[in-house]
Amino acid sequence: MMNISASSVFQAYLSMTASITLFKTMLNQLVPQQLQVYIVTKIRSYFRQNSSDITLVIEETDGMGINEIYTAAEIYLSTRISPEFQRFRISKRPKETDVNVKFGNCGKITDSFEEIELVWRFVHESNQKNSLRFHGGDGDGDSSEKRYFELSFKKQHKERILNRYIPLVLTVAKSMHSEKKPVKLHSLASGNIYASKVWESVNLDHPSTFETLAIEPALKKTIKEDLDRFIKRKEFYRRVGKAWKRGYLLYGPPGTGKSSLIAAMANYLKFDIYDLEFSSIKRDADLRRLLLSTKNRSILVIEDIDCSVKLPDRNGNHPNNAANSSKMDQFTLGGLLNFIDGLWSSCGDERIIIFTTNHKEKLDPALLRPGRMDMHIHMSYLTSESFQVLTTNYLEISDPNYKGFKEVKELIQDIQITPAEVAEQLMKSEDPETCIEGLVKFLKRKRTSINEELEKQKDANNNTTDDDTQLHELKRIKL
């Protein structure tokens, strides 16, 4: 039996490596790069044609929009981890009970369906390059990433996979997602809407619910019923030819709970929130790009619409008379309206759009008509009933006859005060009686301050009237 020494094997390995390196060098010098690519492509094509397998490529995005099948595959495969897949990304955010497992790099997971063997591969490609520039906008250097799944199986099972297996993946993923889905708050990534990753997100840990909202019980009931009706009417919207969306306008003075109501709606529906900053948008095309990068079952929020941005009118005339700006390079009211109820608004399902404002009268009437803002919700000052909600939340007192409550409710009826102001007083002590006593003193001081201000205005009006009378008399004498 021949004995081969380790040194002989090593020398043979070095010789083979050197030969391969020399061959590659000669090949690169003698054969043009384009011809090499052509030959490799032809060889791969030949083997693919003679292969009995077929591969479906499921990319993360579909054009400018999000690929629903990719998202479903990511959720579905997270429970089918196999030893063949060796690289994962794991994370856990505060208040989450489970660890989130996502795929880290190229790997393989096997699955079976009706005795069909399926192989999933996750591929993550990253290339450093400059981001695209839109209409001359400033594009910062950014890392372009491409993520996709490859699903391989025998050719003869193509119809069964497309018509039965893929729908199963979508259904299972949707069920899994709704069971453990945390509500997320999305904001623009580093304020750069031209980056490859448009949105960044954190878990929405806001504890607001309809039970804790300090608004009128009748208004709570109306809002909840409207939301329930909306999410159950998919076929209705399709039948009448309308995009499956709903618009809400929340208006009222600061501190009346507009942000808390948005959080309560998101927690109630399990819808993500997209916080849309108009100050980062320069063109109508930017807004469309942001809209298409949001997911279904989401709430788009534009807070303080009356002061967040100065919109040009529908003819492109800017309020600041920016005559030097091209109309095509402006973010216009027409673009905003098309975003709300035009063709672009139909690019997605189960969308809720919420505008907030402290001054409804400052808004363009075109924004307020039905079909754009379907429901106008007035967030008013504190009432006796909503005060009871606050005492239950902050003091854990639900007895309407508790000591001092009667005096507080009488004072609330005399003055306009926001839930936020009262809530601040209820947080100043852990003793309920001390809190109520302090609240009574605060309300009395506020009432006195309001009365003094009214007296000053009355005196000013009287002085103005007297001055006008004297001036009129002087003119009469001169005449």
Q: In terms of domains, do 207 and 299 share one?
A: yes
Q: Is there a domain that residue 415 lies in?
A: yes
Does an H or E element contain 227, and which? Answer: helix 217-231
CB 166 within 8 A of CB 69: yes
Does an H or E element contain 371, and which? Answer: none
**Mind listing the pLDDT tens digit for each residue in 51-99?**
678 899 998 887 767 788 988 888 888 777 665 555 666 766 665 666 6
What type of residue is 340?
I
Total Cβ atoms within 10 A of residue 42: 9
The larger pLDDT score, comparing residue 216 to residue 334, is at 216
Q: CATH no. for residue 202?
A: 3.40.50.300
Q: In terms of domains, do 362 and 407 share one?
A: no
Report DSSP letters for 284-343, one per residue. Answer: HHHHHHHHHTSPSSEEEEE-SHHHH-----TT---TT--TTS-GGGS--HHHHHHHHHSG
Q: In terms of domains, do 97 and 113 share one?
A: yes
Q: In terms of domains, do 246 and 374 share one?
A: yes
Q: In terms of domains, do 148 and 236 share one?
A: no
Q: In terms of domains, do 251 and 372 share one?
A: yes
Mark 186-218 as b/e (b = at least 16 C-beta within 10 Å): bbbbeebbbbbebbeeeebebebebebbbbeee
Q: In terms of domains, do 374 and 241 share one?
A: yes
Calculated CA dihedral for residues 396, 400, 401, 403, nearest 10 degrees:
40
Nearest to 103 by CA among 133, 125, 135, 118: 125
Total Cβ atoms within 10 A of residue 304: 15
Nearest to 281 by CA among 290, 272, 270: 290
What type of residue is 360?
K
Q: Is there a domain that residue 367 lies in?
A: yes
Q: Is there a domain that residue 451 lies in?
A: yes
Domain limit, last residue, from 146, 181, 216: 181
**Mind listing the pLDDT tens digit for each residue in 314-335?**
454 555 444 444 444 566 667 7
Q: In terms of domains, do 128 and 146 share one?
A: yes
**Mind listing the pLDDT tens digit for each residue in 18-55?**
777 777 777 777 767 667 666 766 665 555 555 678 89
Structural domain count of the chain: 3
**Mind listing the pLDDT tens digit for each residue in 270-318?**
999 999 887 777 777 777 778 878 888 899 998 888 765 555 554 545 5
pLDDT confidence band for 223 (50 / 70 / 90)? very high
pLDDT exceeds cutoff 50 at 132: no
Domain limit, last residue, from 324, 349, 378: 378
Q: CA 4 to CA 120: how far, in whole Å?
A: 42
CB 249 within 8 A of CB 373: yes
Q: Are strands 53-59 and 141-154 parallel, antiparallel or unpaired?
A: antiparallel
Q: CA 344 to CA 19: how far, in whole Å?
A: 60
What type of residue is 52?
S
Q: In terms of domains, do 325 and 392 share one?
A: no
pLDDT exceeds cutoff 60 at 200: yes
Q: Is there a domain that residue 35 lies in?
A: no
Q: In terms of domains, do 217 and 81 share one?
A: no
- Domain containing 177 equals 52-181
Q: Is there a domain that residue 3 lies in?
A: no
Q: Is there a domain that residue 10 lies in?
A: no
Q: What is the average pLDDT across 9-25?
A: 72
